Chain A
């Protein structure tokens, strides 16, 4: 199969390297590209489902998106097998894992709320991440970290999944704000019709935040366990740890406020959006800036 594709590419005068295929990486990159194609079809179907929420496009999207996730997961495992280490040391791996987790969350969210259109709205950012992962193969950007390898994979995995969850919660929060605004202002357009109910959005946003919080807690715990080996006695003064703790505390405060004072609806939505904005600053500006070579 691999030779067949190489021959086909060569017949068009395009060298395989132009697609980023080099040596053994072709196995998982081909699977990744197939997954990307399936995600593209799935997103297109979800967009069509906005026009007819229970039409053929919506039903097809339910089949295509899970298939895309499955192929994506296989490509991730294949990359792990080929490279021999958990594939989070490159931008391709990091974006890929983020997008896969976010799409899994979006599909679960849509299934739970019965609105395939929500998958389109929530899948937009992960889809962009996939495109970035696709482009990153041409630059081979490596991530660096001082954490011992034994802690690195588990730490990065937990943190990336929490990042996915918080981004999904922010997207869901934005949908919640839109639906709440329509209900308060009594303006109901076609987009509103395709959206899940307010309570479903509230419930799923909250669950997603809880999921993200659990993974972030695990990621921080693993990071702290490996930190003394990486940064010596003053490990607790590292900016990444402190900023992660800040994010963790923020979400922790929200969970307490929800349980005690019933912060929901608009408050939850605003919190999920602002919480993710802080997360973005923390991860992208502080962590990524230090990790990327």
Chain B
């Protein structure tokens, strides 16, 4: 067995800024496109003592996950590299960058993929963004054994959290709450007709969500007709003159209203007539205007479900509360994932010792075999192979039980002392062991 050059211990870290530590005017200066970030990965690995690296850049975070063997210098090289590489003022970022090592870094990544560290708790996009960042780094050969394993664990934990908890189940924005209510009434929104009365920002957001969920026919009405035409064009819909929109109510399954009118623009009587024309098929009406656009009496009409802005906010508050409950469960899953990863990391410590032991035993066997062969000149090649195999088999069988127990002991809290003892007992030289990660306790 050839001996490997000695390696220093490996150190896992994450460094960067996120929405908790830096205001938006700081974060926005770090946002870069995918190509720029992919180049940065390679340059970071060239300029700094980093063996593996993944850069995650989203609206709310900029983070470098890495593996280094220069523990002492690690906290200092990442920030200066990025500030200079991206042409930023170093002083502006000094107080916003954080640095976490080993166990804390592992926990941080698992919380990120579980969306526990997101600005909106439980949002679904982050897992995909982390996957993309990892894929980009892997494509540039910037990841190795440690980060591959860590990110696989992070994806596994992220998926588990979404599957086993309610962290992403319900809407936590007012505009999306309207979609959730519509789905609770209609199930699928495929083929449904929605009408937007007034082209305020919230209406536009809500109609965007509805179209994303299958609403195909959009009617838009506004006092300024041209604004209605513009918004309708954006969603492939139809503009309706404001004075005539009650006539089209019978076609509408979902109505979103947000005008600046000072009084009601839709009365219960008009809605009753429309309901009779549409044979009582249910309608969701979302009134997000203040003052309200729709007469409250409309809520008492059969098969009409009327929600105002406060109702939607209550739905959101309720859902946020549920997500916070789910987050407690999610944190338990994260801790399980962290423990599993750290156990794996811990088990790496034993690898160089095992390699050293095997190498030493085989070296002794080879030396003794050479001496014996010199004295056994009458043996055929076949006989020599039998003797060689017998000696090697004896060595492996002798080592089987100690190596098995060594693996088990490496998971215990005093593993470092145990491994030192084995090194002393067998006088293992540095050249007979591979690098072992140190300081992996969380």
Contact = CB atoms under 8 A, between A and B. Distances in A.
A199 B315 contact: no
A193 interface: yes
A262 B281 contact: yes
B314 to A, nearest CB: 7
Contact of A261 (B181, B280, B281, B314): B280
Given A186-B307, A188-B315, A261 B279 contact: yes
Interface stretch (A8-16, A33-41, A263-271, A272-280): A263-271
A199 B282 contact: yes
A183 interface: yes
A166 B183 CA distance: 27
A189 to B, nearest CB: 9
B299 interface: yes
Interface string B160-181: 0001100001100000000001
Contacts of B282: 198-199, 202, 264-265
A55 interface: yes
A292 B416 CA distance: 81
B308 to A, nearest CB: 10
B279 A262 contact: yes
Given A263-B280, A265-B302, A197 B187 contact: yes
B303 A265 contact: yes
Given A265-B302, A266-B302, A267-B302, A183 B281 contact: no
A54 B162 CA distance: 11
A198 B299 CA distance: 16
Contacts of B186: 197-199
Contacts of B184: 179, 183, 192, 197-198
A184 B280 contact: no
Point out which of B181, B185, B315, B318 has the most chain A C-beta atoms below 10 A from its C-beta: B185
Contacts of B299: 184
Interface in A76-123: 113-114
A119 B191 CA distance: 28
A194 B16 CA distance: 40
B305 interface: yes
A200 interface: yes
Given A197-B186, A264-B303, A186 B314 contact: yes
B311 interface: yes
Interface in B67-95: none
Most chain B CB within 10 A, of A192, A262, A267, is at A262
Interface residues of B, number: 24
A197 B279 contact: no
Contacts of A265: 280, 282, 302-303
Task: Specify which of A197, A202, A261 lies most central, judged by the most chain B CB atoms within 10 Å of its CB.
Answer: A197
Interface string B192-225: 0000000000000000000000000000000000
Most buried by A among B169, B183, B186, B279: B279
Nearest to B303: A265
A204 B315 CA distance: 27
Nearest to A266: B302
B330 to A, nearest CB: 14
A126 interface: no
Interface string A124-147: 000000000000000000000000
A193 B185 contact: no
A184 to B, nearest CB: 7
Contacts of A267: 280, 302
Interface in B299-347: 299, 302-303, 305, 307, 311, 314-315, 318
A102 B305 CA distance: 32
A263 B128 CA distance: 46
Most chain B CB inside 10 Å of its own CB: which residue of A186, A196, A200: A186
Interface in B261-306: 278-282, 299, 302-303, 305
B279 A196 contact: no
B174 to A, nearest CB: 14
Contact of A196 (B164, B187, B303): B187
Contacts of A198: 184-186, 282
Contacts of B314: 186
A200 B189 CA distance: 12
B271 to A, nearest CB: 15
Contact of B315 (A54, A186, A264, A266): A186
A263 to B, nearest CB: 7
Contact of B305 (A114, A184, A200, A264): A184
A193 B186 CA distance: 14
Given A188-B318, A264-B303, A266-B302, A183 B280 contact: no
Interface centre among B164, B281, B303 (most CB of A within 10 A): B303
Nearest to B307: A186
A236 B344 CA distance: 82
A55 B164 contact: yes
A253 to B, nearest CB: 17
A114 B183 CA distance: 13
Nearest to A259: B279
A259 to B, nearest CB: 9
B169 A266 contact: no
Contacts of B280: 261-265, 267
Contacts of B170: 193
A190 to B, nearest CB: 9
Nearest to B279: A262
A179 B181 CA distance: 12
Given A198-B185, A266-B303, 9 more contacts: A183-B181, A183-B185, A186-B314, A188-B315, A261-B279, A261-B280, A262-B278, A265-B282, A265-B303
4 cross-chain pairs, A with B, having the tightest CB-CB distances, nearest first: A262-B279, A197-B187, A262-B280, A265-B303
19 contacts: A55-B163, A55-B164, A179-B184, A183-B184, A186-B307, A193-B169, A193-B170, A196-B187, A197-B184, A197-B187, A199-B185, A199-B282, A261-B279, A262-B281, A264-B280, A264-B281, A264-B282, A264-B303, A267-B302
